[in-house]
């Protein structure tokens, strides 16, 4: 019973980590600065922490 639960939890962790890498914007390590990825173009909009 523990093994299937562990597999489900680990797969959820890996899936949620991958989605963050696709976001065009991210919060810097200082927790204040918003940064854009190298591939972002002018006019790009996205949701970051629930805010558009």
* Closest by Cα among 33, 12, 25, 22 to 51: 25
When computed from its CA atoms, the radius of gyration of the chain, rounded to whole angstroms, is 15
Predicted pLDDT at 30: 93
Predicted pLDDT at 29: 92
Q: In sequence order, what DSSP letters do the residues of 6-18 get, joined into one string? A: HHHHHHHHHHHHH
Averages of pLDDT over each 10 residues, the chain, 52 residues: 77 58 85 90 85 72
Predicted pLDDT at 11: 74
Q: Are 11 and 3 in contact (CB under 8 A)?
A: no
Q: 48: which strand partners?
A: 51
Collapsing DSSP to helix, strand or coil, 46 comes out as coil
């Amino acid at each position: 019973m523990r093994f299937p639960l562990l597999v489900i939890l680990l797969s959820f962790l890996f899936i949620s980590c991958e989605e963050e890498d696709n976001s065009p914007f991210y919060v810097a390590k200082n927790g204040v600065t918003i940064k854009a990825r190298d591939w972002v173009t002018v006019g790009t909009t996205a949701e970051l922490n629930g805010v558009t």
